[in-house]
Amino acid sequence: MKDIIEVMIADDHILMREGIKQLLEFDGNIRVIAEAGNGSECLEKLKVFHPDVLLLDINMPEINGMEVLKKVKADKVDSKILMLTVHNEVEYLIRALDIGVDGYIMKDSESSELKKAIYMILDGKRYIQPNLIPELNAKLASMDVERDKLKFLTKREKEVLVQVASGMSNKEIAINLDISERTVKNHISNIFKKIDVSDRTQAAVFAIKNNMVKEEVENK
């Protein structure tokens, strides 16, 4: 590991940036080489500065942290990305992990915990806020159960479910798939049973959560 770790802070609150900078630079082995107050500025500065670690807030003007993370990962920037956020909802964490974040820590963490996270991700490990891990594991297990339900749907049932999630009526689905309305009703009844929902709204939520609607759009 380098003697001096170079860090960039992207956060729209200047007092937050100044506070983090002071905490990180106190021991002398971490130096903040750049700061950004919004997502656009962050991306522009990454073209000039090449920090070992980017501390990235989620809620920022112009381009939010998640979009910055996507862009950085797509461009294969060498910097490690540590999300530093107020969002303790596990959905944000899962989204960040899906994109490829290296670490995720809360803004109210102790300075020692923040430094530990920086050292860990620089060592090639992934850091996740400890108190979020139990909820993360529970959520991932639940998502696995939801995904397993997809295995029981036939190809035609999946097609019908996508149409339901897109807001189509039974008549519209029948026309689009060239089948009768009675057949559509039968498919929907079977779908409800297989994915354990009781109405079209719940079915639509299931489809969206499992990226079925997105996949359909991309495949067209």
pLDDT at position 215: 42
CATH topology for the 5-136 domain = Rossmann fold (3.40.50)
Judge residue 198's burial from the number of C-beta atoms within 10 Å of its C-beta, 0-12 exposed, 13-18 middle, 19 or more buried.
exposed
Could you check whether 5-136 and 152-219 share the same CATH topology?
no
pLDDT at position 220: 39
Percent of the chain with pLDDT over 70: 95
- Where do the domains of the chain lie? 5-136, 152-219
The most confident of 21-30, 173-182, 200-209, by mean pLDDT: 173-182
**Which of the 8 DSSP states describes residue 151?**
T
Rounded to whole angstroms, the Cα distance separating 86 from 145 reads 29
CATH topology for the 152-219 domain = Arc Repressor Mutant, subunit A (1.10.10)
Query: Is the pLDDT at 51 greater than 90, yes or no?
Result: yes
Reported pTM:
0.66
**Which of the 8 DSSP states describes residue 132?**
G
- Tens digits of per-residue pLDDT, 115-171? 999 999 999 999 998 888 888 887 777 766 677 788 899 999 999 999 998 889 999
